[in-house]
Amino acid sequence: MNRISRLLKGVYDFVVLVVSMAGFVPKNATISRITVMAVSVIIVFNLSNYQPHHSDLATAYFAISEILYFGFITVVLLKNGLRHWFIRNWGNEGGYLSFEAILGFLFFHNGACIGYLASSSPGNLFSSVNRELLLALVSLVFISGFTIKILAAKAVTIEIYYWKDMFAGKKITDFVVTGPYKYFKNPMYGIGQLPAYATAIWYGSRQGLAAAFLNQFLIFSFFFLVEKKFIKRTYKKDENNP
């Protein structure tokens, strides 16, 4: 019975982690958060089902999502950024929860827009590759990236995944060197981005590959221009341990 209980708890914890990474943190659920996420899911469902090949719409969706996502985290998480405004208005924890709710919404659409852009603009980039072989390769790339990202998120905790330490402007846990971080300096932004490339490869989409690359370029830009400075300042790590 204990084994079954542990198995069920493991499955539950995994589902909660994945859902949290997608943009909805169950432990912080509110009616407004549930409503916003439900509407977001409905919008994406309708786009993929009723506008499946509308690449112009997908491009606009991608551009707006990227601007809002990277603009938001940059403006808020700078040393003297808008995080101070959140804290002044709602306090430390209330300010963070407000920030997390907005960020979760942007997380969801950041992931959804890349997949939609790839699926709405299929091409023949890999048409010469046997379809069964391509499926196997894409599955391997997708699962590898997804697994690394899950393990990385589990290692740092979902609070760090949502940059709670940067929002608070202080250390809230020890610097992580466990899980994938034992072997990679930045598994979350590196290998963890492979699912976006796998999706674009499957559809043979040039636009999808470009979107995956641009998204990864922007997240690394945020890391080097904003996040790494915070890590060095707060966790007192040198450039060889970002």
Nearest to 95 by CA among 26, 168, 33: 168
Mind listing the pLDDT tens digit for each residue in 42-101? 999 999 999 999 999 999 999 999 999 999 999 999 999 999 999 999 999 999 999 999
Cβ atoms 207, 55 nearer than 8 A: yes
For residue 161, count other CB atoms closer than 10 A to its CB: 20
Whole-number Å distance between alpha carbons of 18 and 31: 20
Q: How far apart are CA 199 and CA 118, in angstroms?
A: 7
Predicted pLDDT of residue 169: 94
* pLDDT of 240: 46
Encoded amino acid at 157, one letter: T
Under-70 pLDDT residues of the chain: 1, 236-242
pLDDT of 242: 43
Predicted pLDDT at 205 = 96
What pLDDT sits at residue 1?
A: 56
Q: Report which of 65, 67, 54 is spatially closest to residue 117, judged by C-alpha positions.
A: 54
CA distances 86 to 80, 143, 172, 231, Å, are 12, 37, 18, 21
63 contacts 211 by C-beta, under 8 angstroms: no
* Distance linking the first and last C-alpha atoms of the chain: 43
pLDDT at 241: 46
pTM above 0.85? yes
